[in-house]
Structure 1
Amino acid sequence: MRQNHREIRWIVEGFTPETIPFSRLTEYLSELANLFGDASSMRFVRLEDNCVAVVNKIVEPGAYSRIEKRLKTANSEHGESAPRNSFERINRMLVEDGTSARIKSGSATILRFPGQTVDALDEFEMEGVATATGYLYYLVENERGQLNVRIRQHGLPAAKCIAPAHLQPLLKEQLFKEVRLKGRGTWRRTHDGQWVLLNLEAVACEPVENVTFRQAINELRSIQSSWEDDSLVSESAGDASQ
């Protein structure tokens, strides 16, 4: 399917087209238009049965990538304020309705609205062993002689880290590259059950090599074994003869 004809589906659990009040549906649709931010490039296609699934088709070339990027950051503290506010308003409405929702493109879920599960868990913090893996984009020495480090994690908020001075040469060498920092940190469990690393006091750093699955398999195959051919067969035969 060409990009300018891709469909985006907003699915609400627990409702059907026959049970959701029309006035409530229009409220959701109004906030969805604000959330998408590119509503003029979208067309309403259909309302699916069994659940409330609002299907929209993107008709403007290039609009899908803009909308997808906006949706993926709508539930992030680093996202734009307008889509984040729309996300929060929609989520509050879902809490009021006692349900949840998600936005999908094809088989992939782009954005989840926890809705009724928001208050299911209490937030709390705990300290323990921690690891931050991602793109090292910030490295500054602070007034205490330590290093302030920022790691952009994949699909997670940026990790704020402190590293000792003796790691500075290695961190400088790995700046703007993928790294893994290990140490102790503070974790927070959010309302929806996700664990977020708030801070990390690093004691070790190692580079992360981006290796594809195929490359990893080839490397495993290239490992030379010190065993002789048919060593297991030979030992078994020897045992049987005793």
Structure 2
Amino acid sequence: MSELVEYSFRIIGAKPSSIPMVRLATYMAEFGRLLGCQESVHFDKIVDSSVGIVALVRPEDVPVISPRVRDASSGSADADAASHYRKLNEYLGEDGWSAELPLPKGGQVIAFPGSVKSARAIRVVNQHTSVQGRLIRIEGGGERVKVGLEIDGDLTARISVPAELIKELAALFHQHVRLSGDGRWKRDSDGKWYLDNLNASSFERLDDVPLSEALGRLRNIIPEGTGEKIIKAVDELRSA
């Protein structure tokens, strides 16, 4: 069995001797909901020097949990994960504490300032969208099935595909694909845009080819002299 990975939620300002057990249980429950993967996330211990709630997870769940927590803290998570991040901050604010959660394998520390951090989108745009990555998750039933793509090492799971396409798509499991359809983009209170949901209606397999070969194909597609014309046009626009 692979060695388990720790997630330690450190409450700053609290001591094990002063925090009531019922209140501690409230923090533990909300911390577990924030991490997700509830069937494979297990409580390990409370660190005595402060109130550090330590959870153990399987290494294969880290690419799912860490992006989920990171997105929740930045306001770009799905409603479920973001609500648990806000709830933990509400508890901390009520108690006059703050907290931090170092993410394993990356060195990033997620801050919990102890006040509600707004994740409310201030603008929504719907437009045709395409995303591409390695297909690593297929789950659910009904008319639309949820899928997950690995993009730059993180899981993007706010994507659904019609059930009638899922058998063909499943044949490309762990391969690189492009999914296209109606995307809903949101801009959070910090001005950052994120893909909130993609209702994909089509897909295509992507070939894993060396960069040199891909560039060679582009040279064959783009007519000679086109690049110079584009650069000239951009320069003219800048000087206009």
TM-score range, shorter chain: 0.3 to 0.5
Taking structure 1 as the reference length, what is the TM-score of the superposition?
0.47
Larger gyration radius, structure 1 or structure 2: 1
Taking structure 2 as the reference length, what is the TM-score of the superposition?
0.48
